[in-house]
Amino acid sequence: MPKCKYDWPEAGERHLIGTRIDRIDGPAKSSGQAKYTYDINRPGMLFGKIVACPYAHAKIKSIDTAEAEKLPGVKVHLVQNVGTEIQWAGDEVVYVAAPTEELASDAVAKVKVEYDVLPHLVHDEDLSKVGDRGKPAAEQKSGDTVAAFKDPDAVISEGFYGTPIVTHCCLEAHGQVTEWADAQNLKVWASTQNLSGLPGAIAEAIGVPATNIEIFTPYMGGGFGSKFGPDRWGIECSKFSKEVGKPIKMMLERDLELMMAGSRPSHYAKVRVAAKKDGTITAWESDSWSTGGPAGGGKPPIPYVFNIPNQVTRHTSVSTNTGPARAWRAPNHPQSAVLTMCALDDLAAKLNMDPIEFFHKNADLASERTEVYRQELRKAAELADWQKLWHPRGDKTPGHIKRGLGVSMHTWGGRGHNSNCNVTVNPDGSVEVALGSQDLGTGTRTIIALTAAETFGLPIEAITVKIGDSKYPASGASGGSTTVGGVSASTRRGTIDARDQLFAAVAPGLGAQPDQLEAVGGKIQVKGDSSKSLTWKQACAKLGVKPVQVTGKNPGLCELGSSGVGGVEIADVSIDTETGLVKINKMVCVQDCGLVLDLKTAESQCYGALIMGITYSLFEEKIMDATTGRMVNPNMEFYKLAGIGDIGELVVHMMTGPGYDERGVIGLGEPPVISPGAAISNAVANAIGVRIPTIPITPDKVLAALEKGGMA
């Protein structure tokens, strides 16, 4: 491929790329100076609260807000009207707003809503009990599974596997502050993953031009796929604010956040899988089902990673009254990893094969990623001390503590999204990069600053990054691990063009042509000759009074990124067979993502994903009561998340260098969160000798499995 001026620097020419850079917003966050939506308080602001339906399925009979409206300063806004059919407990019916939160809570208690309660379904683990709520999809086939399963050389394993509904449990709940500057201009401080896209979504619903709506997200406390749209509360709060002529802050309470702000869909499957006696996988058959709430659930991409030659899949979408589904980091992939990798691990056990050898042997089924996966399997095994610690199923050592290892593989896309940025180089030497992105806590600000600093030969602190305002040039939503690829590419193109304009301004004074110059070490100099140079400030002074202003775009000239990454993770666990408690000894993550811009941030993404993976593997579940249809753990006391003592040792290795860097930048946020559920489940099976079919792997499930014949 011919060289392009926008290309990332070659390995020997990089000064910041690939190093460990501290987050530039770390001091603001750790000191409390960073302002989140919760911190915004506008003059004359009212506090909004929600009157929610307590039933999983009901029709509204009547609404009486008279008593609430008698309270001083209380305003009321109907969200859903009499006759509306509610599909989940926690759905909004009425909003109230008051000068204080306490008064708003009092007003909620005084609103009277009557319902006709209707039949509901909130459990979908047993497909035989869902009745007409299940809608089978078309069967999909390839190859000849009948012949493959009848092959006399075939070894067949069968099992049931599953993952329940879990919530996003963002520490910063959903919500916004809305304020009308006048009848046609709206400002919204929102916790969103889609800063640039929100004005258009709100405008369509409230009837004002998108250009009249400005969104602010200076800092954000987690979204994980749940905060792309304005949501009903964002739209209705905007209408409510206009009605009362005052700003309104409405942030969801924790119980409503967990009940109705979206969840990761469940996935279950009965699987048959076959291999030859030498371990070559030959056939797959699965009957799967899932729910995404009332809308049902989509088909998981199974068999996952491995393109098994003979396969047949059947899927049923189940409609339940559990609340709406939303994208949850690497949508469908964590569930599919459990359904596939656990089934394949069971097959390896039946073959009496080491799972690492089994996956290594079948890596040919992973298409063009075959050799990458094999390298990652070898490296992960080395870091986990697999050869020394792994054993066939059932730890036979004396005592009630049993140890086991498990492995899983995963894949993801990660191509950069559409992004635009404005780059300004001022005559005083200051540099600004502005774009309409948001930093979810993943280091977006730092990546933008690093990219600009690398191009200009400046230190990170010389770059001012402006994000979090929808009036800046539009950039894509932070989803699908697309942000780093999008913003780094637009910043790279914009800064290269700005640098070239600066070169043109200073070249005559250095007796050189612009293409003979370079920006390095805080100077503009003739390539390889520091005696012919100007400091950065001296060079910028040559601009006179007019700054350089350039717009960078992604996509654009040169491929600065690509798509498709993979990884291997190994879990090392210990199980107390007397209590059923699972302890994580070590989690190993080996991951590729093309060119790593900031090694510290990349590793941090993996650490965070492993922690989140341990959490959903051992603790998380949206527990629904079959009788009432309500979530029984909508709080931080009983919706369990991992604590620092639950994590164990985390080991991360990034696959970098020749063969990887040439692919350019690929997003990393989601891939490493995919495999923990399968790896931990496989490790538990290795330790106690029996499969626990569904995650989370809680003590009661471990003890029940042991009673049925563990340690075999």
Q: What is the CATH number of the domain that holds 205?
A: 3.90.1170.50
Is residue 131 in some structural domain?
Answer: no
Q: What is the CATH number of the domain that holds 658?
A: 3.30.365.10
Is residue 142 in some structural domain?
Answer: no
Structure tokens at 609: 């994903």
**Residue 488 near residue 508 (C-beta atoms within 8 A):** no
Considering the domain architecture, whether residues 450 and 477 belong to the same structural domain is answered as yes
Percent of the chain residues past pLDDT 90, beyond the cut: 98
Each residue of 124-163: b (16+ CB within 10 Å) or e?
A: bbebeebeebbeeeeeeeeeebeebbeeeebbbbebbbbb
Write down the pLDDT at residue 1: 54
Is residue 256 in some structural domain?
Answer: no
Is residue 160 in some structural domain?
Answer: no
pLDDT per position as a tens digit, 507-549:
999 999 999 999 999 999 999 888 999 999 999 999 999 999 9
Considering the domain architecture, whether residues 579 and 433 belong to the same structural domain is answered as no
The total of other beta-carbon atoms located within 10 Å of residue 513's CB is 12
DSSP state of 624: B
Write down the pLDDT at residue 711: 64
pTM, two decimal places = 0.97
Structure tokens at 83: 């006759």
Decide if pLDDT at 658 tops 60: yes
Considering the domain architecture, whether residues 426 and 408 belong to the same structural domain is answered as no
How far apart, in whole angstroms, are the C-alpha atoms of residue 444 and residue 442? 6
How far apart, in whole angstroms, are the C-alpha atoms of residue 314 and residue 113? 42
Pairing of strands 248-251, 46-52: parallel
Considering the domain architecture, whether residues 423 and 439 belong to the same structural domain is answered as yes
Is residue 151 in some structural domain?
Answer: no
Decide if pLDDT at 712 tops 80: no
Decide if pLDDT at 2 tops 80: no
Considering the domain architecture, whether residues 241 and 93 belong to the same structural domain is answered as yes
pLDDT band at 709 (very low <50, low <70, confident <90, very high): confident
Q: What angle do CA 548, 554, 557 make, to 5 degrees?
A: 80
Is residue 369 in some structural domain?
Answer: yes
Looking at 220, 236, 251, which one is the last position of a domain?
251
Considering the domain architecture, whether residues 189 and 244 belong to the same structural domain is answered as yes
Considering the domain architecture, whether residues 405 and 427 belong to the same structural domain is answered as no
Looking at 251, 285, 305, which one is the last position of a domain?
251
Domain count, the chain: 3
Considering the domain architecture, whether residues 588 and 599 belong to the same structural domain is answered as yes
**What number is the average pLDDT over the span 420-425?**
98
Is residue 679 in some structural domain?
Answer: yes
Considering the domain architecture, whether residues 601 and 630 belong to the same structural domain is answered as yes
pLDDT per position as a tens digit, 664-702:
999 999 999 999 999 999 999 999 999 999 999 999 999
pLDDT per position as a tens digit, 213-225:
999 999 999 999 9
Write down the pLDDT at residue 367: 77
Considering the domain architecture, whether residues 77 and 219 belong to the same structural domain is answered as yes
Considering the domain architecture, whether residues 549 and 575 belong to the same structural domain is answered as no
Decide if pLDDT at 710 tops 70: no
Is residue 264 in some structural domain?
Answer: no
Looking at 554, 574, 599, which one is the last position of a domain?
554
pLDDT band at 654 (very low <50, low <70, confident <90, very high): very high
Considering the domain architecture, whether residues 573 and 549 belong to the same structural domain is answered as no
Domain span including residue 232: 44-119+174-251
φ, ψ of residue 462 in degrees (nearest 5):
-80, -10
Q: Which long-range contacts (CB under 8 A, 24 or more apart) does 531-539 make?
A: 534/506, 534/509, 534/510, 536/429, 536/456, 536/457, 536/458, 536/462, 537/428, 537/429, 539/502, 539/505, 539/506
pLDDT per position as a tens digit, 129-177:
999 999 998 899 999 999 999 999 999 999 999 999 999 999 999 999 9
φ, ψ of residue 598 in degrees (nearest 5):
-130, 105
**What number is the average pLDDT over the span 422-434?**
98
